[in-house]
Structure 1
Amino acid sequence: MLRKAPALFGIIYKAGDIYSSTRIVSPVYYANSKYAPGLREYIEDKGFDAVVSTHLFPMEALTAIRKKGGFNIPCYGVLTDYTCIPFFGETKLDGYFIPHEELRDEIAKCGIPKEKLFATGIPVSKKFAVHESKAAARAALGLPADKPVMLIMSGGVGCGNILELCDTLERCSSGDYLACVLTGHNASLKQSIDERFASAGRIKTVSFTKQVNLYMNAADVMLSKPGGLTSTEAAVANVPLVQMLTYAACEAKNIAFFTSHGLSIRAANEREAVSAMWSLTDDKQKAEKMRAMQRACINPNAADDIAAKVAEGWI
């Protein structure tokens, strides 16, 4: 749906947001409560000391388990967008780890008691906090050391008008560069880009890879849609960031948070995106200012902090 009908997804998300404001138990809760007995049996059979969920659906199932009673294993939720998502407020867990202290009031208004909210940041893999030098990262990936490198993240399934973006980049760029387009699992997008742009040698496609962190280290600038996790990974990797909004919903709130804190530049269209990427590539002072804001605002150790607090029974 994100790829084929992003506007429709935004409408559905907005409808969910409106439904949540009624405080009526949602169909989402009832749907996820159906597998709650099996989930409870699994948790109890495995003897887990605590449960941590990073997705709304299991949070809903855990809430259903709690309502049945007799289940005392601590359960926690992790919010992975910079806003309170629809139906989040109807979950009833022991505690919640949220992306930033500034979101506490917004999330509390959704129905979560403030005393259950702990501003740790969004957890990402430790590898994003390991900053290889640009030269070392490029050498490891076989990328050129003598020209600007731009990283374009299309999302795991390929979101946004990437072909138009590549065309604009080619038409509006006067200097030499290499753009690495990570196409994820979208083989047709990769083929289309290769057919149109590979011969010029300035746009290189990369299928699904586990070396995203290295590509971030190698890049002078990165362009991405504003998903909560990807945005956080970029900030932890400390790469200058341009964001394009491919659909509304939670990503609108993500991009608002990032741009308002100087963590990224928002581009309304492909031409603005290309202009912003070159601006951050050419203006080292501007890029470093953004990187400084990323270091100040985003916690690179959120995963460790969450694990430590759960293990210590801090809540």
Structure 2
Amino acid sequence: MRKKRVLLLSEGFGSGHTQAAYALAVGIKQLNPDIQTRVIELGKFLNPVLGPWIVSAYRKTVSKQPKLVGMMYRTNYKRSLNRFTQLALHRIFYTHTSQVIAQLKPDLIVCTHPVPNAVVGRLKRLGLNVPLYTLITDYDAHGTWTNAEVTKYLVSTPIVKRKLMAHGIPAARIEVTGIPVHPTFWTTFDRNEIQRQFDLKPMPTVLVMGGGWGLLQDNDLFEYMARYREKVQLIFCVGSNEKVREQMASNPLFQHTNIKILGFTREVSKLMDVSDLLITKPGGMTCTEGLSKGIPMLFYEPIPGQEEENCEYFIRNGFGEMLDSRQTIDKWLTLIQEPYATVQFRRTLMSKRNQQYNPEQCSRAVLQMMQ
């Protein structure tokens, strides 16, 4: 008997969309090894020249003109992708996507980004007979996610479900599953072993993340943070941003045995386990990973739009607060030096997590469709 197949389509606009796709794929395989999964970043796969160029242009816009990104997000909040955009996607992707689907013969397609969601939706209007699930990877529901051909939406919270309903999506087509994280975030690693692996000391530790693109730009706050280096260990993850890594490595303030500057790493789960505080850009994926670990979070420089909505959700639910002053740094870097307070706070967050989040729920929702 042929094994059932799930095709997961993403895009490289930030790392979170594709991370969610891989996390869901691995979660499905762990629950049912007989299911075949395939993850594809559609633009890069189908157009290896133009796709990465578009992503690079978007990355520069996010970095240099975040207010413009926010204005575009809000202006088009209630709108699905317009006809011009759909025509452009048709020219670039539709025919090739149809060929890929015909070759892979999936029993279910899951999209973790609005672009492939629109592409597959159009193919369904043209006769494609494959169920389409759409996994929204933030704590907001922008209109570009909406598509009449979606069989079911998988969303992070009841709030996002209500927002989708306000866009006209029937409640029966929306399931609250949480955003999936890789199974490594479901377990706890041995702290001593992690410290040996990364040459870390057994002392209060802060993990600072700039997302997959390494957007660490507020040098004043990070330099002020470095003044705690005798009492607090600092781990900076700058992702693929080699320029930022070189700038920080050449700064005398960061040249200390208690400061680690890391590039891209697949060991974020371990680094969260060994850390007492996470300072991060509020991407939906990173925030959910922090939630799964029950680590307190400080959020800095949210991109106007979905990252602001992510911030609002996690702050409102007591999982973190905004990093907007030196006083906030003083407060938290002093707090984590008190072992009892640190343990108690993390226990509280783990209890909240257990009440609000089941890491397997999204995978189980997909598997239920496959039965």
- How far 1:24 moved relative to its partner? 8.2
2:104 equivalent to 1:49:
no
1:276 partner SS:
helix
For 1:149, the equivalent position in structure 2 comes to 205
- Residue 205 (structure 1) shift: 0.3
Match of 2:347 in 1: 288
What is the alpha-carbon distance in structure 2 between the residues aligned to residue 24 and residue 208 of structure 1? 32
Give the alignment's TM-score, normalised by structure 2: 0.76
Partner of 2:140: 83
Residues 80 and 99 in structure 1, CA contact (< 8 A), matched pair in contact too: yes
Query: Pairwise mapping of residues 7-18 of structure 1 onto structure 2 (< 5 A)?
Result: 7-17=67-77
Which residue number corresponds to residue 98 of structure 1?
155
Equivalent residues of 1:26, 1:87 under 8 A apart = no
The count of aligned residue pairs is 306
Could you tell me which residue of structure 2 aligns to residue 184 of structure 1?
239
SS state of the match for residue 184, structure 1?
coil
Matches within 5 A, 1:1-315: 1-17=61-77, 20=79, 25-34=82-91, 35-68=93-126, 70-145=127-202, 147-171=203-227, 173=228, 176-196=231-251, 197-269=253-325, 271-273=327-329, 275-280=331-336, 282=338, 283-284=341-342, 285-312=344-371
Instruction: Check conservation: 2:215, 2:241, Cα contact below 8 A.
Output: no
Q: Structure 2 unaligned runs (5+)?
A: 1-60
State which drifts further: 210-219 or 127-136: 127-136
User: For 1:29 and 1:299, how far apart are their aligned partners in 2?
Assistant: 35
CA distance in 2, matches of 1:280, 1:307: 39
Q: Distance in 2 between matches of 1:8 and 1:178?
A: 36
What secondary structure, in the 3-state scheme, does the structure 1 residue paired with 2:69 have?
Answer: helix
- Pair 1:144–1:134, CA change in 2 (3 A): same
Q: How far off its partner does 1:188 sit?
A: 1.2
- TM superposition shift of 1:295: 3.0
Segments of 4+ in structure 1 off by > 6 A? none
Q: Percentage identity across aligned positions?
A: 20
Determine if contact 2:179/2:285 at 8 Å carries over to the other structure.
yes
Can you list the C-alpha shifts for 1:172-225, whole angstroms capped at 9, x where unaligned?
x38611100001111111111111133333321001011111101110111101
> What secondary structure, in the 3-state scheme, does the structure 2 residue paired with 1:179 have?
strand
Distance 1:221 1:110 in 2: 37
Cα 1:153–1:302 change in 2 (3 A) is farther
Alpha carbons 1:88, 1:110 under 8 Å: kept: no
- Give the deviation of 1:164 after TM superposition: 2.0
Secondary structure of residue in 2 paired with 1:97: strand
- In 2, the alpha carbon distance for the partners of 1:223 and 1:163 equals 14
Give secondary structure in 2 for the equivalent of 1:128.
Answer: helix
Deviation at 1:117, TM superposition (A): 0.3
TM-score after normalising by structure 1: 0.89
Structure 1 residues 144 and 122, CA gap change in structure 2 (3 angstroms): same
Deviation at 1:160, TM superposition (A): 4.0
Distance 2:90 2:337 in 1: 49
Rounded Cα–Cα distance in structure 1 between residues aligned with 2:175 and 2:264? 33
Structure 1 residue 26: deviation in Å? 4.8
